[in-house]
Chain A
Amino acid sequence: MKMFTKFFVLLFVSFSLISCATSGPKFTELAPSISKLPPDVGRIYVYRVTSFGALFQPDVKLNGEVVGKSTPKGFFYIDRKPGTYEILTSTEVDRKLSLTLEKGQTRYVRLNVSMGFFAAHIYPELVDSETAESEIQDCHFIGQENKLSLSKINMESGQSN
């Protein structure tokens, strides 16, 4: 039984260490320098508030493309052309959110955590801007520079022309 106790202590220590590991500027620090949304695209913020299930940080996919990671207390954003999108996270199961994005619109997606059998389930949920803007304040930026988003949009524009 002592082995079990050690195992659980180690498990919880690992959880604690991982949950402290999110780095990057806080939203409050970064907000003034976040680039203005270009008029012909929309923006999606993705954030995870909770450290619960911190061992599980699956990729976040947007229409099949990896756009970030579900890091506890982290956030990132992506700019995309108006259209329909699916956000997917996978642990032992896939969890999907479908949403529309309009020109000039900002949408907020919170990554929630629930427990499964072998792994935590991370599920994306669409959140209203008032709630999200309050919850995201203490999250740390874990995204790429917005240039990546813009180059992606430019690439898509080039392909469609």
Chain B
Amino acid sequence: MKKLEFVIISFFCLISLNACAFDVLNIKQIPAQIESPEMTKGSFQLNAELKVDLGTGFSRTLKKGTKWDYVGTVPFGDVFKTNDQILTIEASNIYEAYIVVSASKLVGFYLPVERTFSPLSQPEDLIIKSVQ
């Protein structure tokens, strides 16, 4: 019986030590004001799938053939959104996201609800073609 008590006590100690670990996954967010200039930068289509490591243990795939429309600019790049796939970024919570592109590279995500920019640790090349 003592062995059983030991197991139960150990179990609860383990829980106490780890209970706070559920909310440790956060994404980096930088406040970002989106500006919509009068000149639109149009749309583009992804010519190749891109798998993005979010650095939170989760990844996202931007699907080949999806069309991305310009919605504005943040200090980190141009913001594009799509209706062709659901895009969210995920840590402990999940956030709807648009992509932020600078010099044909995906540099991070714009979170329209939080109005923040979440940078990628490593910008990723986008293989695109312009769409009228």
Write 9 A-B pairs (CB below 8 A) sorted by A numbering. A86-B113, A92-B22, A95-B93, A98-B94, A98-B113, A117-B19, A124-B94, A126-B94, A128-B86
Tell me the bound Cα distance from A138 to B120 in angstroms: 39
Confirm or deny: B123 has a beta carbon within 8 angstroms of a beta carbon on chain A.
Answer: no
Smallest CB–CB gap between A48 and chain B, Å?
Answer: 15
B33: interface (CB < 8 Å) = no
Question: What residues of chain A lie closer than 8 Å to B48, measured between beta carbons?
Answer: none
Q: Which of A95, A118, A124, A127 contacts B86 (CB 8 A)?
A: A127
Q: Is A123 among interface residues, defined by CB-CB distance under 8 A?
A: yes
Q: Within 8 Å of chain A (Cβ to Cβ): is B125? A: no
Q: Closest residue of chain B to A127, judged by CB?
A: B86
Q: How large is the interface on A (under 10, 10 to 19, 20 to 34, 35 or more residues)?
A: 20 to 34
Known: A85-B113, A100-B112. 18 other contacts (CB 8 A): A84-B113, A86-B113, A92-B22, A93-B23, A97-B93, A98-B111, A98-B113, A99-B96, A116-B22, A117-B18, A117-B19, A121-B22, A123-B94, A125-B94, A126-B86, A126-B94, A127-B86, A128-B85
Instruction: Tell me the interface secondary structure of chain A in the complex.
Output: strand
A125 to B87, CA, bound (A): 11
How many B residues touch the partner, as a band? 10 to 19
Which residues from A are CB-within-8-Å of B18?
117
In chain A, residues 96-153, which have Cβ atoms closer than 8 Å to a Cβ of chain B? 96-100, 116-118, 121, 123-128
List A contacts of B113 (CB < 8 A): 84-86, 98-100
User: B15 contacts which of A86, A118, A124, A125 (Cβ < 8 Å)?
Assistant: A118
Asked if B49 is an interface residue, CB under 8 A from chain A, the answer is: no
| A123 CA / B92 CA spacing, docked (Å) | 9
Task: Compute how far the CA of A125 lies from the CA of B60 in the bound complex, rounded to whole angstroms.
Answer: 14
Choose among B23, B92, B95 the residue that contacts A98 (Cβ–Cβ < 8 A): B95
How far is it, in angstroms, between the C-alpha of A92 and the C-alpha of B22 when the chains are bound?
9
> What's the Cα separation between A16 and B15 when bound, in Å?
26
